[in-house]
Amino acid sequence: MKNRWLVCPQPNSSATARLFVFPYTGGAPSSFNKWIAEFPNTIEVSIVHYPGRGSRFNESLIKDLFVLVEEIANAIQPELDKPFFFFGHSFGAVLAFEVARRISPQPQILFVSACGAPHVPNPNRPIHALPDSEFIRSLQELNGLPTEVASNAELMELLLPVLRADFEAAESYQYTSNEHRLGCPIIAFGGTDDFHVDRDRLEGWGCQTKGRFKSQIFSGDHFFINTARQSVIASMVAEITSSHAKG
């Protein structure tokens, strides 16, 4: 039976590892189309598919991050039959982290990208309830909304509710501490010109694991995963391959 929460563009039963990708606000599996060909055939890539977009366009948007977490955790559990890894960008990093806290076994590595550690205060103002013009301007400042998209009224009418729902889920999220840090390594990626996530907030992820922590900075802004895509993926593949070999 098809799992509506996961999209696997190139299923590969002979792959020895599985990578789950958690998209950013407004993101869909198609946002990572260019990624798939960059991974070796030993790594099968599955992208988490949030409701309200793509083939799930007619489904209700979810504005509570923990509702998303529970749904995703349940959907992913049957797919953990081989060594697996999580990657989340921005909003997706928080989702990946909270899902990792709820499942067993945990991922072999949690990759968090363009996201401050959950226990470190976020200095950025909430934007999900701003008037359309201010909301769109804030998205453009993040370089998360191409000008040709922002100027297309029909497209924005479809996209704005999705973006607002995701930002509301992200901005209303309250981190809850517990006595159990993650047992898996955490690797945090940041952008040299990402004004939204400073180095201190990125380094804070080291407090969330009992395992190894590493941070790596790539050239680019909040969406360095697009402009430095090949470098980001090469780093991930090297870490996954090394971890898998040790395992």
Note whether residue 227 is domain-resident.
yes
- Residue 140 placed within a domain: no
Q: Which secondary-structure segment (H or E) carries 217?
A: strand 213-218
Is residue 65 in some structural domain?
yes
Contact predicate 98/31, CB 8 Å: no
Assess if residue 84 is contained within a domain.
yes
Among 13-17, 77-81, 154-158, 168-172, the least confident range: 154-158
Residues in the chain: 247
How far apart CA 104 and CA 77 sit, in angstroms, is: 8
pLDDT in tens, 189-220: 999 999 999 999 999 999 999 999 999 999 99
pLDDT at 31 over 70: yes
Both tokens assigned to 75 = 């959907």
Partner residues linked to 7 by β-bridges: 47
Q: Which residue type sits at 85?
A: F
What is the rounded CA–CA span in Å between residue 39 and residue 8?
A: 13
- The pLDDT of residue 44 is above 60: yes
Which of the residues 90, 113, 138, 243 is marked catalytic? 90
Q: What is the pLDDT of residue 3?
A: 87
Q: Residue 151: which pLDDT band, with cuts at 50, 70 and 90?
A: confident
Assess if residue 156 is contained within a domain: no
Q: Phi then psi for 21, rounded to 5 degrees?
A: -105, 130
Q: What is the CATH number of the domain that holds 214?
A: 3.40.50.1820
What does the pLDDT look like over 125-148, one tens digit per residue? 999 999 999 999 998 888 888 888
Confidence of residue 176 (pLDDT cuts 50, 70, 90): very high
Domain that holds residue 114: 6-119+176-246
Domain assignment present for 35: yes
Q: Per the structure, how many domains does the chain have?
A: 1
Q: 180 pLDDT band (50/70/90 cuts)?
A: confident
**pLDDT score recorded for residue 204:** 97
- Reported pTM: 0.96
Question: Do the domain assignments include residue 130?
Answer: no
Domain annotation covers residue 161: no
The residue type at 170: A
Residues 112-131 pLDDT 10s: 999 999 999 999 999 999 99
**Average pLDDT value over all residues in the chain:** 94
pLDDT of residue 144: 80
CA distance 7 to 46: 5
Angle between helix 91-102 and helix 65-76 axes, rounded to 10 deg: 60
Q: Is 90 an annotated catalytic residue?
A: yes
